[in-house]
Amino acid sequence: MTADLDLKSPYAHKAPAREGDGGSSSDTGWPYTVSGSDPEHFVVSPTTRRHDVTFTLLLQWAWNGRRGQIRIDDQGKPFRVTSDRNAIQLCLDRTTTRLLPQPKGKTCAS
């Protein structure tokens, strides 16, 4: 699954099949059916090119005429993704053992 978090209303959708992942480009996608004897494992790969994003996933399900929704998060906290443009490079200050922003035009070792 992929999710473009740069969209105004992002949603998870099926990623193109990759060699060796067991899927195929002819899979029909949603709704997706699983059973107790045939469980499914989903991997969601969120992306952003412009933002620092926190998010949770909402999974809607139906079983035996019942419906519900499950919130998927990081142990009670939202997941967090940031673009590499917005990421701050940090370096260890060996004197104070604190992480400090990397000086412009320098590496952490210099």
The rounded average pLDDT for each run of 10 residues, N- to C-terminus, in the chain (110 residues) is 88 72 54 75 84 89 90 93 76 85 79
Supply the pLDDT for residue 70.
Answer: 94
- Residue 68 and residue 73: Cα distance in Å, rounded? 17
Q: Read off the pTM.
A: 0.59
What pLDDT does 31 receive? 64
Could you tell me the CA-to-CA distances from 77 to 11, 24, 37, 69, 81 in Å, in that order? 19, 33, 31, 17, 13
Q: What is the pLDDT of residue 78?
A: 94
